[in-house]
Structure 1
């Protein structure tokens, strides 16, 4: 997926942490979150986490170029890692526009502790699919079963708060104990359970017993994870109901997984970046000229697609994509402007993508602050026309201006030029004279024979 140009190296950022980190958060990041997100996202999270200490001492805003140096990866990969952290619920991003640049405020969310991670149905299922059942059971037994066995045996005789303390308004004291913002896992789209409530009522099933807050959360997660239809979710709910009309959560999760395997036999469960659907152009009017068609096409496709289209559908080389990625990230060119630049350079250099030529023009266009494909195309035409006019003026003054010769030509050089003509005229005179003499001799010879 193309993330080039989403953020720029000069864009600033600040970091804050919501809540308190669990004691064993590093174990959760390494063994539980890393298989789902990848190493780059975990590296970004930990780097931002430790950046908080520097921001307490310095009031200056860091730029994303700092993150590129810390992580040693391009800016588009940093943006992709940021999206993964946001999707899984480990990061919230707030954008602030200033007159000079854009500043992003990154609010880190505390990861689940290993024990709390396994209480989340969606994350548990995802981890099982990513690392396999055997490894999943081993990690779960290490983190969950060991903690369960660590509880002491016997009757709990611990004194409660009300047994020990007495306050005027005890409710305030109780409320003040839970002020920390906790991570609630991935943010999912809310769904309407009214249709499910009506289905349970029609079957004389107490819907309040089934549609509890916890059960709704699990249903939302499974619906998002497996992409089930409404009728499939209904079947799973009915399958997992106990004799007392309570929802068996483990049975429900297994039923959702079986429904997924039945309906999508060729699919697999993996946490992968979502491919956005290309939005239709807002302007519904059809372009009138070929130039308008080209501009609209350059506005909507990616540089990778442009290279593949110009090479008759062949895959774009990694070297060309790397050159384009570096130029876009360093010069901050939008994707439509980069498309025009690629098209222009290929036409000017016999379909060769020269890095030096690209960088030279990209730096010029970056200073011109071009934003759209139309602006870039008009600017390229103006520059080409200016260059052509300048070249024609130089050519005219060099080759068509009348030159006055001040050289002195000697007489012998002039005579040498005239000598062949004089000799030629003299030879022609001698030839005529010889002809006349021969004719006279012939006449004399004829008269003598008659006598």
Structure 2
């Protein structure tokens, strides 16, 4: 990552503190955070912490002063700052004062040692950085497991008080709420339907703590939704609850089989050298870009003019997607292809046949899947075309004039061009219809 020039030595900074630091935070920074983010980031945090009492709020300190404090070049200080931001220990704000950048570094509260060991993602990362022996030593030293308190029967505000009279519809909806799912990058509605299809009570599985664990493991191991579902099913207990340790192990096993890497460790993110994505110019490029970003459910609704996707179609898509391990963009192309080839009917047998072929081809993007589908379709059409050398048995060879051959070749070329124009027109018509449906659905 090129960080030269991101911050200048003459740029000023102030330091503030979100809230008071917990007891034992120095132990957390030294023994728990430092293995993850390095000594430079920890030194920067501690320096900024002690700068709070030393700073003049009317005149900001410069980053040149910070370089002298830490005896570090500014690019290393900038990288250390990014690590603090990424791990959740720092928030940075920038403003202009007299055409000069001034930063506010707001220190966030680190976990105490006991709280650190309750965060599943940090816990897993620390384990991979330190190894089993050192990790268990720290856990035994800092984490004191609390005795089981029993069932929490404390009355909540809504159990005691009421500020309005709910109508009958609200009473019928039950206690389960989907509000938490909006805060996560994973579609818990999809997972809830998957569990209900298997007669598993979603309410027991999708608790607040389990949702947090699911999101953390998905983020840590960079898993797809269907891979998370597979790990959840593996970790279910006989009482239909989620065993957290089994779930974490299952996620790690999926990660190992997927990437075949030796360890999970925090590393600096490499800046992409690829050119920025260009604006789609053709209708096909527009379609590919759309298929890369939407969910299969949204695609079905777009193709049906905004109507809700049926439970049966979603069940077919879910089963094919999870059994073959297709990424969502590839699944979208498969749905589009099958619907166009089957007169807008979602044939499960036809979809499974193609999905197994695409899975073996290891397709990852909508563009790859679209090109692969076209190639296979053209190959099939050529293989089923009548052979040019199929003559009747009583065919007698005669001398054919050159002018007749030329005319026959010209007619054949005209027919080929006409067929290509018809196919291109048909494909353009299909793209027009699909993009029109998508546009109308988005407006609604």
TM-score by length of 1: 0.52
Q: Secondary structure at the match of 2:110?
A: coil
Structure 1 residue 144 corresponds to structure 2 residue 143: yes
Partner residue in 2 for 1:113:
112
Structure 1 residue 259 corresponds to structure 2 residue 258: no
Partner residue in 2 for 1:439:
none
Quote how far apart the aligned CAs of 1:54 are: 1.1
Provide the C-alpha distance between the structure 1 equivalents of 2:194 and 2:25, rounded to a whole number of angstroms.
Answer: 42
Partner residue in 2 for 1:104:
103
Q: Contact 2:235 / 2:250 at 8 angstroms: preserved in 1?
A: yes
Number of residue equivalences: 249
Partner residue in 1 for 2:219:
224
Aligned partner of 1:200 among 177, 195, 203: 195
Q: Deviations over 1:250-283 (max 9, x none)?
A: 1111111122122222342010011132352588
Partner residue in 1 for 2:35:
35
Partner residue in 1 for 2:81:
82
Q: Contact 2:186 / 2:225 at 8 angstroms: preserved in 1?
A: no
Q: Contact 2:40 / 2:80 at 8 angstroms: preserved in 1?
A: yes
Provide the C-alpha distance between the structure 2 equivalents of 1:212 and 1:229, rounded to a whole number of angstroms.
Answer: 20
In structure 2, relative to structure 1, the CA distance for the partners of 1:24 and 1:99 (3 Å cut) is same
- Largest Rg, 1 or 2: 1
Provide the C-alpha distance between the structure 2 equivalents of 1:225 and 1:11, rounded to a whole number of angstroms.
Answer: 35
Q: Deviations over 1:197-222 (max 9, x none)?
A: 22112112121221112111111111
Higher relative contact order (CA 8 A, sep 6+): 1
Partner residue in 2 for 1:4:
4
Provide the C-alpha distance between the structure 2 equivalents of 1:232 and 1:192, rounded to a whole number of angstroms.
Answer: 13
TM-score by length of 2: 0.53
Q: Secondary structure at the match of 2:118?
A: coil
Partner residue in 1 for 2:63:
64
Quote how far apart the aligned CAs of 1:68 are: 0.6
- Map 1:397-436 → 2, pairs under 5 A: none
Quote how far apart the aligned CAs of 1:229 are: 2.0
Provide the C-alpha distance between the structure 1 equivalents of 2:99 and 2:246, rounded to a whole number of angstroms.
Answer: 56
Provide the C-alpha distance between the structure 2 equivalents of 1:279 and 1:257, rounded to a whole number of angstroms.
Answer: 30
Q: Secondary structure at the match of 2:103?
A: strand
Provide the C-alpha distance between the structure 1 equivalents of 2:39 and 2:198, rounded to a whole number of angstroms.
Answer: 48
Aligned-residue Cα RMSD (Å) equals 2.5
Quote how far apart the aligned CAs of 1:98 are: 2.7
Q: Secondary structure at the match of 1:220?
A: helix
Unaligned runs of 5+ in 2: 155-160, 162-182, 280-444
Partner residue in 2 for 1:92:
91
Q: Secondary structure at the match of 1:54?
A: coil
Quote how far apart the aligned CAs of 1:38 are: 0.2
Provide the C-alpha distance between the structure 1 equivalents of 2:254 and 2:186, rounded to a whole number of angstroms.
Answer: 19
Q: Secondary structure at the match of 2:140?
A: helix
Q: Secondary structure at the match of 2:54?
A: helix
